[in-house]
Amino acid sequence: MTLSVGVIGTGMIGRDHIRRLTRVLSGVTIAAVSDIDRERAADAAPEGAEVFDTPQALIRSDKVQAVVICSWGPAHEEQLLDCIAAGKPVFCEKPLVTSEDAALRVMQAELAHGRRLVQVGFMRRFDADYRRLKAVLDGGSLGAPLMMHSVHRNASVPEGLYTSDMPLNDTLVHDADIARWLLDDEVAGVEVRVPRRSTRGKDLRDPVLVLLHMASGVIVDVEISVNIAYGYDIRGEVSCETGVAALPDRPATVVSDRHGIRREIPADWRERFIEAYDQEFREWIVAAANGTATGPSTWDGYAATLVGDAALRAVDSGTREAIRMIEQPGLYARPAAMAAE
Ligand code: NAD
Ligand code: ISE
């Protein structure tokens, strides 16, 4: 069976996902696209796909069995609620939503539906390097994790669209999610330190240093730099009782030429996580074809949203801000051994 998909939001990542859904992956076809900028949607539409004037019309269409949301974060809540009301599986790019209340509304709707429908675009969980790192930690040979160091550097971000709060409530969500997943833990508190600003970031609060206090006592330090010019550089290392496990340098290919010996840094997230995005969609397609969702859930999106909110409070207060989560609904409980869930 071929899964018939509608894509909402045909900007940078929407186009990249359309490319992988049409040219890389099998078992899927794009039947519909929509964007508030109709021309952009028409331009991105693959052959045979209908361009819809509104996301709501796309979601309701009989041509669409499952939906991929790649619009801006503030638009996600309404589109997610419409997908859930229509009972259609939905892949939603991060952030799930942009406030705790919105996350709870999406969760309530999915709980009322009674089956998981939402997968959130936390693609690092599908990255082979992160999966190997998790396997080492879960294997227990290094003892208990004590500290984690996470580095999240972007060469640049879109001027005007990317605002000063976004290092904390848009970019940090990836580090928060991967820490929760790798360590099988929840974030209990957040501190933020703001060092000297990069002059490249104009009005942005960039860089920032974040401390995630996990419920177990593990501390995760996160460097977020969003205008660092030299490339997209993602690093991760976990210090445990009897050893350390780290992501490898990416890519591992070493180039030697008349300038010396070097490893080339990926330009952006599309290049660094290309296989991870492919894999997250492979797994999504299988689940969506069965009318459900797998992988990062509404619960995970809610947890990451709380971290972003707490980080923004921590900038203002200058102290550790606590996170209080509701009790986890059974729908989101997962067997500890499951790889990406
Ligand atoms: P973008 O600005 O390039 O594209 C967003 C598109 O959504 C635009 O074409 C815009 O017109 C459209 N849009 C906005 N509101 C809409 C609405 N209400 N209905 C329909 N269309 C609407 O942004 P982007 O970089 O493609 O990011 C899109 C989403 O993907 C964001 O949530 C972002 O955080 C996320 N993202 C995730 C990753 C990742 O690594 N997982 C990487 C990049 C972006
Ligand atoms: C972007 O939206 C992403 O999700 C990228 O993975 C992240 O590195 C970047 O900072 C965000 O703007």
Other residues' Cβ atoms within 10 Å of the Cβ of residue 56 = 16
Question: pLDDT grade, residue 249 (50/70/90)?
Answer: confident
- Cβ of residue 97 lying under 6 Å from some atom of ligand 1: no
Pocket test for ligand 1, best of 39, 71, 173 (most atoms within 8 A of CB): 71
Identify the band that residue 180 occupies on the pLDDT scale cut at 50, 70 and 90: very high
Tokens of 110: 């999915």
Q: Of the ligands numbered here, which is closest to the C-alpha atom of 34?
A: 1
Does 337 have pLDDT greater than 60? no
Contact 182, 134 (CB under 8 A): yes
Element (H, E) at 61: none
The residue nearest atom 6 of ligand 2, judged by CA position, is 269
Give me ligand 1 centre to Cα 9, in Å: 6
For residues 191-213, average pLDDT: 94
Residue 262, exposed/middle/buried by CB under 10 A (0-12, 13-18, 19+)? exposed
Query: Would the CB of 154 count as within 6 Å of ligand 2?
Result: yes
In terms of DSSP H, where are the helices of the chain? 12-19, 38-44, 55-60, 73-85, 100-113, 128-139, 166, 172-183, 269-272, 274-289, 298-317
pLDDT tier at 230, thresholds 50, 70, 90: very high
Residue scoring higher pLDDT (82 or 336): 82
The CA-atom distances, in angstroms, between 160 and each of 51, 145, 154, 204, 321 are 27, 39, 16, 10, 29
What is the rounded CA–CA span in Å between residue 31 and residue 142? 48
Confidence of residue 335 (pLDDT cuts 50, 70, 90): low
Q: What is the pLDDT of residues 84-122, one digit of tens each?
A: 999 999 999 999 999 999 999 999 999 999 999 999 999
Residue 341: predicted pLDDT = 52
Residue having the nearest C-alpha atom to atom 10 of ligand 2: 171
Pairing of β 233-240 and β 244-246: antiparallel
Are residues 31 and 22 in contact, defined by beta-carbon separation less than 8 angstroms?
A: no
DSSP letter (8 states) at residue 200: G
Candidate of 7, 39, 40, 72 to mutate for ligand 1, largest count of ligand atoms within 8 Å of Cβ: 72
Residue 171: is its pLDDT beyond 60? yes
Please tell me the residue having the least CA distance from ligand 1 atom 41: 121
pLDDT band, residue 339 (cuts 50/70/90)? very low
Rounded to whole angstroms, the Cα distance separating 168 from 327 reads 24
Q: Residues 9-44: pLDDT tens digits?
A: 999 999 999 999 999 999 999 999 999 999 999 999
As annotated, the residues of the chain forming the CATH 3.30.360.10 domain(s) are 126-269+300-338
Residue nearest to atom 9 of ligand 2 (CA): 171
Q: Which atom of ligand 2 is nearest to the CA of 167?
A: 10
Fold of 3-123+277-297: Rossmann fold (3.40.50)
pLDDT for residue 338: 52
Predicted TM-score of the model (pTM): 0.96
Give the architecture-level CATH label for domain 126-269+300-338. Answer: 2-Layer Sandwich (3.30)
What does the mean pLDDT of the chain come to? Answer: 96
Dist CA 36 CA 77 (whole Å): 16
pLDDT of residue 93: 98
Contact 281 CB / ligand 2 (< 6 Å): no
Say if CB 80 and CB 55 are below 8 A apart. Answer: no
Residue nearest ligand 2's atom 12 by CA: 171
List residues bridging with 193 in a β-sheet: 209
